[in-house]
Amino acid sequence: MRQGGRIKLSDVARDAGVSPATVSRAIAQPHLLSEETLAKVRASALRLGYLPDGAARALASGRSMTIGAIVPTLDSAIFARALQAMQSTLAQEGFLLLVASHEGHAAAEAQAVRSLLGRGVDGLMLVGAERPPETVAMLKEARVPIVLTWCGDGNFTAVTIDNVLAGRLAAEHLIGLGHRRIGMVTGQLRFNDRQRARLAGARAALAEAGLGLPDQLHSEQAVTLAGGRIGCATLLELDDPPTALIGGIDLLAIGCMEEAHARGISVPFGLSVVGIDGLDMSAHVSPSLTTVHLPIGRIGTLAAETLMALVAGRFAETTMLPVELVVRRSTARLD
């Protein structure tokens, strides 16, 4: 029950003295019209303040010019940046972003997928490749392109980074500095393949160096500063505490530094800390955080571009973006 009064396509058509079909073409395929007609239609549309009805266009054309994105949370510097990059890339082509978050719950993600698919998004971006088979099935049956980000798998096109390598780089940096007891604080491992991969990468590097990362040197925490503090405290209170810590994300690493600080332990001289992410903030904390920099904005931009290419029927393949260790002041050679 649209309220009366809204100008519709047929009003413009009448005003311009052409058929509705012509007005429709003026909007979507202007090259099909003569300049004269086009000008006439545009003038009418402008004068009447015509705004096409998206629902009707979507229904008639099967395209909604809308891309869906489902992330764990918007309230995170990382996902916020990726979404901002996506949004602005999409906007250039007239697409809009429909967002949903699942806050770490697989069921909420499934619900979001259903919702977004039902809303007729033209493409869908998700984070990570791990999800229940029912959700995967739903995505596979979807008649729209799906793009995974951060982690991919064989099932869908993806824009990924090498999380295993990220973990490895962090660990190798510390090993190279002479550390022998290295701990790691990660976020929840469940329903988070990014964190698992980073842990696995660190483990592998440590194992190759003959060191290993026993379970007691790994602490799984909420991905907040407070989580980092708790994780750090847990590991520092071991009988034989680590001399260096890896944070599964920068936020955790920063929490670790804070806890060390609170305990009067110097970073980097009493404890080396390295993060993974490369948040802006990390360059600005004190001491500045050594971290494995991930091209977060690029993930968003590329995800958007990939999705738009796929929507347009063009080809697009899975991409893996490079990660890079950025050495700053939070790590030092073990004396």
What residue ranges bind DNA (CB under 7 A)? 1-2, 6, 8-10, 17-25, 27-29, 32-34, 36-38, 50, 52-53, 56-57, 59-63
Q: What values do phi and psi take at 126, rounded to 5? A: -130, 160
Pick what 92 binds: a copy of itself, DNA, none; C-beta below 5 to 8 Å, kind-dependent: none
Check binding of 127 to a copy of itself (CB under 8 A): no
| DSSP code of residue 65 | -
Q: Can you tell me the distance from the alpha carbon of 149 to that of 305, in angstroms, rounded to the nearest whole number?
A: 13
Check binding of 58 to a copy of itself (CB under 8 A): yes
Q: Can you tell me the distance from the alpha carbon of 288 to that of 128, in angstroms, rounded to the nearest whole number?
A: 29
Pick what 27 binds: DNA, a copy of itself, none; C-beta below 5 to 8 Å, kind-dependent: DNA
Q: What values do phi and psi take at 127, rounded to 5? A: -105, 125
Pick what 66 binds: a copy of itself, DNA, none; C-beta below 5 to 8 Å, kind-dependent: a copy of itself
Give burial (CB, 10 Å; 0-12/13-18/19+) of 68: buried
Please, where are the H alpha helices in 34-132? 35-48, 54-61, 77-92, 106-118
Check binding of 52 to a copy of itself (CB under 8 A): yes
Across 123-260, the runs of DSSP E, i.e. the strands, are 123-127, 146-150, 157-161, 182-186, 218-220, 244-247
Block residue for tokens 């798998």: 153
Check binding of 155 to a copy of itself (CB under 8 A): no
CB 248 within 8 A of CB 195: yes
Give the other-Cβ count within 10 Å of 273's Cβ. Answer: 30
Pick what 36 binds: DNA, a copy of itself, none; C-beta below 5 to 8 Å, kind-dependent: DNA
Q: Which is nearer to DNA, 32 or 312 (CB)?
A: 32
Q: Which two tokens stand for residue 38?
A: 């086009």
Q: Which is nearer to a copy of itself, 32 or 262 (CB)?
A: 262
Check binding of 140 to a copy of itself (CB under 8 A): no
CB of 327 to a copy of itself, least distance (A): 19
Q: Can you tell me the distance from the alpha carbon of 180 to that of 198, in angstroms, rounded to the nearest whole number?
A: 19
Q: Which of residues 84-123 bind a copy of itself (CB under 8 A)?
A: 84-85, 87-88, 91, 94, 96-101, 103, 112, 114-120
Q: Which of residues 245-264 bind a copy of itself (CB under 8 A)?
A: 254-255, 258, 261
Q: Which is nearer to DNA, 17 or 212 (CB)?
A: 17
Contact residues for a copy of itself, defined by CB under 8 A: 1-3, 5-6, 49, 51-56, 58-59, 61-62, 64-66, 73-77, 79-81, 83-85, 87-88, 91, 94, 96-101, 103, 112, 114-120, 141, 143, 224-225, 254-255, 258, 261, 280-281, 284-286
